[in-house]
Amino acid sequence: MKILVILTYYYPHWTGLTAYAKRLAEGFVARGHQVTVLTSRHDRSLPLYEELNGVRIVRLPPLFRLSRGVIMPGFPNALRRLIPQHDVVQVHTPILEAQLITTIGRWARRPVLLTHQGDLVMPAGLINQFIERVVTWTMVQAERQATAISVHSCDYAESSAFLRPFKHKLHCIYPPVVIPRPDPARVAAWRAELGLNEHKLVGYAGRFVEEKGFDYLYKAIPMVIEKHPKTKFVYAGERFVVYERFYQQWEHLVKQHQEHLVFLGLLRDPHKLADFYAMCDVFCLPSRSDCFPSVQIEAIMCGTPLLSTDIPGAREVVKKTGMGKLVKSHDERALAEGLNEILENPRCYVKPYEAIKAVFDPEKSIDEYEALLRRLVEENQGQGTDRQRAPREG
């Protein structure tokens, strides 16, 4: 198959969404398919055209940034040129141009799969809320026109008012998550280097934005320290996000609890990331909303139990594996009580690696996506044959 993948940001930009997209694209190439990625040139130092691990990347220069999205004047022409050249289109949403993509897909008679990476949830503020409403409206139109929609879990799909009207198009497929096994010697050396040998460690990671709920974790710190005075909270990620000033809003809590906080920065090396998870006694995900954060699977594959909020999508990993505990969202006391319980005896929540891998097998995920795309192509080709055979009126 010739597959066109469209998303706002691609590698080397790094989020859970881009990681999923990259693994899928390279997985398709490994199975003999031709893959082109159409994305933005989010960094001016990046080439407009590049081939990476067999994937052809086409980057369009943005005119300006609009919150989390970008405006690319060359996008419509690129779509009209590239969509007819491919058998099927996969779009990773949310993306500002979703409706434009599905409209041109219909014009070119190409099936379009929307891979739903989560409902758009913007922070407070008139401009952000306006953007959320406009993009959500255009996304609804795109969902109506799309040939099929994939979502990371049926739990999230059933709870999403946005997806509910499109049940007949939905396909639930776990995203492909890959993490190397941690190295115990490296983990021990790193922990000693950071001066953390005598401490219990609570890990957390991701973009420092409102939906991740790190403010609740910071509010929970005094209640955890009261029972476990030598606990450190270790963060891997970017605190300063260009489209949201959430870290700055809660910086007073950072200063208040700075003796209990350790900031490692964004860890791009997969082996370093694996060692980070293994170093922690518990990994915490205090999200307000989350579709399917990859950090959860990465953490449990490295042997670290989870504490997650009991919200659609984010609760899937704990429910499927039993490797952790779920607590009420928007509640720092519940968060602290859950952390204290796991810190008392984290090994009680650990499951065998083989059992985790059996549930979240990245090769199985790629197989299921490949089968879905192939079916969409075959059905589309069959419809094309039917159109050619149909008698013309008059």
Which tokens is 246 given?
Answer: 């959430």
First to last CA, the chain: 37
Q: Span 47-51, mean pLDDT?
A: 96
Residues 189, 173, single domain; the answer is: no
**Residue 135 counted as domain residue:** yes
Q: Span 222-251, mean pLDDT?
A: 89
Contact yes or no for 8/40 (Cβ under 8 A):
yes
State residue 292's pLDDT score.
86
Beta-sheet strands, E only, within 230-323: 231-236, 261-263, 282-285, 306-309
Inform me whether the pLDDT recorded for 238 exceeds 90: no
**Residue 387 counted as domain residue:** no
Q: How confident is the model at residue 61 (pLDDT cuts 50, 70, 90)?
A: very high
State residue 383's pLDDT score.
79
Inform me whether the pLDDT recorded for 392 exceeds 50: no
Inform me whether the pLDDT recorded for 220 exceeds 60: yes
State residue 246's pLDDT score.
85
Q: How far apart are CA 47 and CA 89, in angstroms?
A: 23
32: amino acid identity, one letter: G
Between residues 265 and 137, the one the model is more confident about: 265
Q: How confident is the model at residue 389 (pLDDT cuts 50, 70, 90)?
A: low
Q: Span 217-239, mean pLDDT?
A: 95
**Residue 300 counted as domain residue:** yes
Q: Span 372-376, mean pLDDT?
A: 97
Residues 168, 194, single domain; the answer is: no
Residues 128, 229, single domain; the answer is: no
Q: Which of 42-56, 188-202, 270-284, 380-394 has the lowest mean pLDDT?
A: 380-394
Strand partners, 151: 116, 172
Q: How far apart are CA 48 and CA 66, in angstroms?
A: 21
pLDDT digits (tens, 9 = 90+) for 252-275: 999 999 999 999 999 989 999 999
DSSP-derived letter for residue 386 is H
Contact yes or no for 277/182 (Cβ under 8 A):
yes
Q: Span 3-10, mean pLDDT?
A: 96
Q: Which residues of 169-181 are buried (b: 16+ CB within 10 A; e: fewer)?
A: bbbebbbbbebee
Strand partners, 114: 91, 149
Assessment of whether the complete model's pTM goes beyond 0.85: yes
Half-sphere exposure for 211 (CA within 13 Å, toward CB): 17
Considering the chain, what percentage of its residues have pLDDT values greater than 90? 71
Which tokens is 146 given?
Answer: 């799309």
Inform me whether the pLDDT recorded for 315 exceeds 70: yes
Inform me whether the pLDDT recorded for 70 exceeds 70: yes
Residues 220, 330, single domain; the answer is: yes
Secondary structure of 349-362 in HEC code, one letter for each residue: HCCCHHHHHHHCCH
Number of domains present in the structure of the chain:
2
Contact yes or no for 95/6 (Cβ under 8 A):
yes
Residues 67, 200, single domain; the answer is: no
Q: How confident is the model at residue 241 (pLDDT cuts 50, 70, 90)?
A: confident
State residue 289's pLDDT score.
86
Residues 65, 95, single domain; the answer is: yes
Q: Span 266-295, mean pLDDT?
A: 93
Residues 115, 189, single domain; the answer is: no
- Nearest to residue 79, comparing CAs of 52, 51, 48, 107? 107
**Residue 111 counted as domain residue:** yes
Q: Span 61-90, mean pLDDT?
A: 90
Inform me whether the pLDDT recorded for 394 exceeds 90: no
Between residues 121 and 73, the one the model is more confident about: 73
Residues 341, 374, single domain; the answer is: no
**Residue 394 counted as domain residue:** no
Residues 135, 262, single domain; the answer is: no
* Average pLDDT of every residue of the chain: 91
Question: Is the CA virtual torsion 196, 199, 200, 205 positive or negative?
Answer: negative
Residues 139, 251, single domain; the answer is: no
**Residue 216 counted as domain residue:** yes
State residue 127's pLDDT score.
67
User: Which domain covers residue 302, as residue numbers?
Assistant: 184-356
269: amino acid identity, one letter: D
Inform me whether the pLDDT recorded for 120 exceeds 70: no
Residues 264, 370, single domain; the answer is: no
Inform me whether the pLDDT recorded for 67 exceeds 80: no
Inform me whether the pLDDT recorded for 221 exceeds 80: yes
State residue 391's pLDDT score.
45
Residues 196, 299, single domain; the answer is: yes
Q: Which residue has the tokens 């004047």?
A: 73
CATH number at residue 234: 3.40.50.2000
State residue 393's pLDDT score.
39
How long is the chain?
394
Cβ atoms within 10 Å of 262's Cβ, excluding its own: 16
Q: Span 225-233, mean pLDDT?
A: 96
Inform me whether the pLDDT recorded for 390 exceeds 60: no
Q: How confident is the model at residue 124 (pLDDT cuts 50, 70, 90)?
A: low
217: amino acid identity, one letter: L
Strand partners, 39: 59
pLDDT digits (tens, 9 = 90+) for 316-349: 999 999 999 999 999 999 999 999 999 998 888 9
